[in-house]
């Protein structure tokens, strides 16, 4: 990884809390990040601002910088496209309205997944899933957790591979924004839209990624998540190149989910990640240029 050695303050800009499918509350995340010696974090829950809203209440008392964040799933037929949004206005009416529509689509999809599992002869109820979510937004990882608890599968991965992922019998598509809509929703809320973990697009060639990034940039994309636990040295270098070529800023984070994603730790990912604070400065500069 080409990070200069003089960087000594580190960050983690991709963290999930109990407001979506993470296992730590925002407060527990802040405490863990402080123990890890991080200077800044962002809680980027799937399709909800609740995690960031709660975390921001501790901005002043916590002694760590907390950037408002979110992660929005976009429609992309060939793979998974997630758009991170940083420094958004958390009270933005238009963004909140958009998220409400997404959340309703998610809720009706969850009911259909549970029905499908029941149709496969599995004893599972919405109440059990709701309990597994701890009161936050329900996602497939919570359904997977119930399947693990009931020993129908051995672990979360097996639940996805057997039942929940695309192409499996309990998979149900949910309403998603088009990439341009997700990007615009973030821009309208004064935020900085960033393409999350580009490898999940399933586009292996640099030329293909070039075209996707050119399109997303046209739509208003401002950055790429370059530093990520699953990006080895080659992918990291490729994403750095792409970011330079398309004049996109670079971000990084661990995608920490706690027990829902074992072996990934706040700030360090699988152990080696160190993401320098200077990336936050570029983000702030970009946000200050977004018309409000
Ligand atoms: P949902 O937002 O409800 O569609 O659930 C998607 C979330 O499930 C992702 O953000 C991941 O946290 C998790 N996930 C997706 N695929 C897998 C997998 N194969 N194994 C474990 N977790 C997964
Ligand atoms: Fe997740
Ligand atoms: Fe993601
Ligand atoms: Zn994530």
Q: Residue 4 falls within a domain, yes or no?
A: no
> Same domain for 270 and 240?
yes
Residue nearest to atom 17 of ligand 1 (CA): 160
According to DSSP, the β-strands at 223-227 and 10-15 are unpaired
Residue nearest to atom 14 of ligand 1 (CA): 141
5 pLDDT higher than 80? no
Q: What CA–CA distance (Å, rounded) separates 48 from 65?
A: 20
pLDDT range class, residue 102, cuts 50, 70, 90: very high
Residue nearest to atom 20 of ligand 1 (CA): 157
> Same domain for 231 and 95?
yes
Closest ligand 1 atom, CA of 110?
3
> Same domain for 121 and 246?
no
Q: Residue 1 falls within a domain, yes or no?
A: no
Looking at the DSSP bridge assignments, the partners of residue 11 are 40, 275
> Same domain for 268 and 182?
yes
> Same domain for 144 and 255?
no
Ligand 1 binding pocket (C-beta < 6 A) is 21, 46, 139-141, 156-157, 160, 165, 257
112 pLDDT higher than 90? yes
Phi, psi of 266, deg, nearest 5: -55, 130
pLDDT tens figures, 145-162:
999 999 999 999 999 999
Please count the CA atoms within 13 angstroms of the CA of 130 that sit on its side-chain side. Answer: 5
> Same domain for 141 and 274?
no
Residue nearest to atom 21 of ligand 1 (CA): 157
Pocket test for ligand 1, best of 14, 15, 19, 21 (most atoms within 8 A of CB): 21
CATH of the domain at 132: 1.10.150.650
> Same domain for 268 and 180?
yes
- Return the pLDDT at 291: 67
Q: Could you say which ligand is closest to the alpha carbon of residue 18?
A: 2
CATH of the domain at 191: 3.20.20.140
2 pLDDT higher than 60? no
Q: Residue 169 falls within a domain, yes or no?
A: no
Q: What is the mean pLDDT of residues 233-239?
A: 96
Structure tokens, 117: 């599992």
> Same domain for 144 and 209?
no
> Same domain for 128 and 57?
no
Q: Residue 243 falls within a domain, yes or no?
A: yes
- Ligand 2 centroid to 188 CA: how many Å? 24
Q: What is the mean pLDDT of residues 30-47?
A: 97
Q: What is the pTM of this model?
A: 0.95
198 pLDDT higher than 80? yes
Q: Residue 230 falls within a domain, yes or no?
A: yes
Which residue range(s) make up the domain with 49? 10-99+176-288
Q: What is the mean pLDDT of residues 209-237?
A: 97
> Same domain for 158 and 280?
no
89 pLDDT higher than 90? yes
* Domain count within the chain: 2
> Same domain for 92 and 220?
yes
> Same domain for 146 and 184?
no
Reduced to 3 states (helix: H, G, I; strand: E, B; else coil), residue 112 is helix
């Amino acid at each position: 990884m080409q990070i200069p050695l003089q960087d000594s303050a580190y960050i983690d800009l991709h963290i999930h809390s109990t407001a979506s499918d993470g296992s730590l509350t925002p407060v527990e995340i802040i405490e863990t990040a402080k123990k890890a010696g991080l200077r800044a974090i962002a809680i980027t829950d799937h399709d909800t601002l609740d995690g960031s809203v709660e975390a921001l209440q501790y901005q002043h008392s916590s002694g760590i910088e907390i950037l408002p964040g979110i992660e929005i799933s976009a429609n992309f037929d060939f793979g998974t496209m997630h758009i991170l949004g940083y420094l958004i206005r958390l009270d933005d009416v238009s963004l909140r309205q958009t998220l409400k529509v997404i959340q309703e689509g998610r809720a009706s999809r969850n009911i259909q997944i549970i029905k499908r599992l029941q149709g496969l002869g599995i004893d599972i109820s919405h109440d059990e899933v709701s309990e597994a979510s701890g009161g936050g937004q329900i996602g497939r990882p919570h359904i997977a957790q119930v399947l693990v608890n009931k020993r129908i599968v051995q672990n979360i991965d097996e639940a996805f591979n057997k039942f929940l992922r695309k192409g499996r019998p309990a998979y149900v598509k949910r309403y998603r924004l088009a990439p341009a809509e997700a990007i615009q929703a973030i821009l309208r809320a004064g935020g900085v839209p960033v393409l999350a973990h580009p490898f999940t697009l399933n586009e292996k060639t640099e030329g293909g990624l070039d075209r996707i990034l050119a399109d997303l940039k046209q739509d208003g994309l401002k950055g790429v998540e370059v530093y990520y636990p699953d990006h080895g040295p080659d992918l990291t270098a490729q994403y750095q190149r792409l970011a330079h070529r398309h004049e996109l800023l670079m971000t990084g984070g661990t995608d920490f989910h706690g027990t829902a994603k074992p072996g990934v730790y706040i700030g360090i990912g699988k152990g080696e990640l160190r993401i320098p604070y200077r990336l936050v400065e570029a983000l702030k500069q970009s946000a200050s240029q977004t018309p409000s």
